[in-house]
Amino acid sequence: MSQPSPELSPSRRDARIRLAMVLTAALFLVVAARLFKLQVLQHDEYARRADAQHTHTVILDPARGSIFDRNGYLLAGNSPVVTLEVYWPSVPAGSESAIDSLLARIRGAGAEVPVPDRTGVNQIIASDMPWEEALPIISGPVPIGVNWRVGARRTYPLGDDAAQIIGRSTRDCNEGLEREFNSLLTGEPGVCLVERSAYPGMSITSPEASGTPPVDGDDIRLTIDARFQNIVQEELERAAVMSGAEWAAAVLVDPATGDILALGGFPVRAPDGSLLANPCISSIHEPGSTFKIVTLAACLEEGLLTSSDSFDCSAGRIPVADRMISDCHSFGVLSVEQIIAQSSNVGTIQMAGCLADSTLYEYSSRFGFGARTGIELPGEEEGLLHRVSEWSRLSRACLAIGQEVAVTPLQLAMAFCVVANGGNLVRPRLVAASRGTDGWRDWSGIRPRRVISEETAAEIRRILTEAVETGTGASAAVRGVSVAGKTGTAERLGFGAGAYLSAFVGMLPAERPRIVCAVVFDRPDYAYRFVSSLAAPVFSSIMTRLLASDPSIALGVPEEAGGVAVLR
């Protein structure tokens, strides 16, 4: 033990060190208290602030659902597109030439390029470049400061041929299935939580981050047959242009199920390029003679007449209230069957004379007129069917021959489906199935509603076959298959003299129809006012081409074993 310095006292030193220890303990208590405050009491507040500066949320876009036709052909899909942009502050000085050559390459690929604005911050230099064109540019070295991202662009392989059914996914388009099923097709966007560092460009996607993946939109399979839709569009356009019609519409429907096979319209676009509503569901008109099947059905179903009962139509005209309604020429005495086949107004009005007002109204209503069909398209018109209480003394006669009633081409087609399928009103449908995360799911149809008996329907089909074979609808005949159908020529009131509507609604094969087709042309040139020169031949050519592409419609499914075609 060394000698302690005389002035130093170990006991004093000891006391001082003990005091130092007490002081140490006090300081540690202060620190511990502060830690408790920060880490326990203020944890929520600081955790929030930490999240705010660390976590960066990236929205993940879901893929929009595709739309397919009944055979699985794509009608609306997505294709990848690339958007390139320059973040000018990141472009190193002296490397502007690299940007210029990139712009030249983009221009070479056929895209428009803006004038470089070097004083700006972020500049898009190519937006929505097709993937194939952008690939050679982005697969090579991209100049520093240039970023690119992949997006999706909606594509419609059929072009405008199905545009009035599908619509467009752009925000300003209110037509079609893209709009009707927008939420189904859109899906749910996901979020990705990215952990950010304090330095730009050094972020990580945290594996434990609670992001949610996007849920892609559902795919939709339609009842539309792309081949038929093409044929219908082409034939409509050709005939409408030739005849100078204001608009034309054609509905192709499977009468048994209500499956819409094609929904053709003309014109597709307004002069300004915007998509027009489909005339099949939006163009209402007085149907004229095609409506006579309702009168016929009412008389037969109620048992008031048989097809062999006859009426005297030799006057060629008939007084109704204070008006005269006439035929195009006088027919003489006609049976019920002949009245329909020859489309005699005088005869039909006499037939309607057997009916009570309410009966005629009720049948009109039960055939689906005056109410929306419920097809899955926005903007469907319900037409016009006056209640009996609103009728004048003229109304029964007018309604019997398809006046004072306004219908859409689709309503007309669905009414003929009642005749075609043995007496049931079916609801038209466009969507057959949709595919979500759990695979394809069929959309069930609505239960059909019986309107007339099978026998009445068969009898009307027989009469309508007669109308095509011997009557007004002769030019609607299709080689190799029996057609039943009804013509309709209606004066278009309010559009001046010589304004007519030319319509034909037919079905084939007449014995057991597989397809119903309504063709309507509005206000063609005067030379084309007769159905025999416009709607009926267009029906014929549409059906001829349809049967060529799918003979089973007329011939049934070929039997494998014997090679003998039988009707199903």
Partner 1 sequence: MRARLCAEGRLLMFLTAALLVAGAMAVYSASGFASMRYFGNSHHYFAGHLLRTLVGILLGVCAWKIGPGFWKAVALPLYLLSLALVLVTIIPSCPIAPSINGSSRWIVAGPVKIMPSELVRFSFVILVATLVTRGSVSPRTLRGVAIISFLGSVPAAMYLLQPDYAGAAFLVGTVLVMLYISEARFSHLLLLVAAAAVLLGVFVVSTPYRADRVRGWLNQGQEVNGDNFQPEQSCIALGSGGILGRGLGRGRQQRGFLPEAFTDFIFAVIGEETGFAGSIAVLLAFFALFSCAWRISAKADDAFGSLVAGGLTASIMGAFLIHVGVCLRLLPATGMTLPLVSWGGTSMMTTLVSLGVIARVATGVRR
Residues 464/422, Cβ–Cβ less than 8 Å: no
**Considering only CA atoms, which of 465, 489, 491, 490 is closest in space to residue 478?**
465
Residue closer to partner 1 by CB (options 47, 446) is 47
**Is 36 or 440 the residue whose CB approaches partner 1 more closely?**
36
For partner 1, give the closer residue by CB, 55 or 257. 55
Q: Specify whether the CB–CB gap between 208 and 54 falls below 8 A.
A: no
Residue closer to partner 1 by CB (options 5, 97) is 5
Q: How far is the CB of 3 from partner 1 (least distance, A)?
A: 9
Q: How far is the CB of 33 from partner 1 (least distance, A)?
A: 10
Nearer to partner 1, 2 or 97 (CB): 2
- Closest distance between partner 1 and the C-beta of residue 57, in Å? 15
Shortest Å, Cβ 90 to partner 1: 18
CB of 26 to partner 1, least distance (A): 11
Straight-line distance from the first to the last Cα atom of the chain, in angstroms, rounded to the nearest whole number: 122
Q: Measured from the CB of residue 53, what is the shortest distance to partner 1 in angstroms?
A: 7
Residue 9 or 326: the one with the smaller Cβ distance to partner 1 is 9
Contacts of 560 (CB under 8 A, 6+ apart): none
Query: Whole-number minimum distance, CB 115 to partner 1, in Å?
Result: 37
Q: How far is the CB of 98 from partner 1 (least distance, A)?
A: 25
Q: How far is the CB of 4 from partner 1 (least distance, A)?
A: 5
**Closest Cα to residue 532, out of 490, 471, 479?**
471
Taking each helix axis as running N to C, give the angle between helix 409-420 and helix 454-469, from 0 to 180 degrees, rounded to the nearest 10. Answer: 110
CA distance 412 to 456: 18
Structure tokens at 517: 């087709």
Tokens of residue 54, six digits = 């660390």
**Minimum Å distance from CB 131 to partner 1?**
33
Single out the residue of 226, 285, 267 nearest to residue 493, CA to CA.
285
Residues counted in the chain:
568
- Of 265, 280, 31, give the one whose Cα is nearest residue 162: 265
31 vs 321, beta carbon nearer partner 1: 31
Residue 338 CA from chain centroid, whole number? 40
Between residues 35 and 241, which has the closer beta carbon with respect to partner 1?
Answer: 35
Q: How far is the CB of 210 from partner 1 (least distance, A)?
A: 14
- C-beta separation of 307 from 335 below 8 A: yes
Nearest CA-CA partner of 546 in 512, 515, 520: 515
Contact 124, 168 (CB under 8 A): no
* Shortest reach from residue 137's CB to partner 1, in Å: 29
Q: Which is nearer to partner 1, 2 or 210 (CB)?
A: 2
CA neighbor of 255 nearest in space, from 373, 423, 488: 423
Smallest gap from Cβ 200 to partner 1, in A, equals 10
Residue closer to partner 1, measured from CB, 52 or 497: 52
Nearer to partner 1 by C-beta: 20 or 121?
A: 20
141 Cβ contact partners less than 8 Å away, ≥ 6 residues apart: none
Kindly report the number of other CB atoms within 10 A of residue 445's CB atom: 15
User: By the criterion CB under 8 A, which residues form the site for partner 1?
Assistant: 1-2, 4-10, 12-14, 16-18, 20-21, 24-25, 27-28, 30-32, 34-36, 38-40, 42-43, 45-47, 49-51, 53-54, 195-199, 202
Tell me how far apart the alpha carbons of residues 280 and 268 are, in angstroms, rounded to a whole number.
Answer: 12
How many angstroms separate the CA atoms of 398 and 326, rounded? 12
Q: Which residues pair with 439 in a beta bridge?
A: 436
DSSP state of 70: T
Chain center to CA of 145: 43
CB of 185 to partner 1, least distance (A): 39
In this structure, the number of other CB atoms found within 10 A of the CB of residue 432 comes to: 20
Q: What are the beta bridge partners of residue 122? A: 87
Nearer to partner 1, 49 or 450 (CB): 49
Beta bridge partners of 68: 74, 221
Output 27 or 557, the one with its CB closest to partner 1.
Answer: 27
Q: How far apart are CA 522 and CA 246, in angstroms?
A: 6
| 8 vs 115, beta carbon nearer partner 1 | 8
Contact yes or no for 299/305 (Cβ under 8 A): yes
Q: Which helix (H) or strand (E) holds 324?
A: strand 323-326
In angstroms, the CA 43 to CA 516 distance is 72
Phi, psi of 527 (to 5 degrees): -60, -25
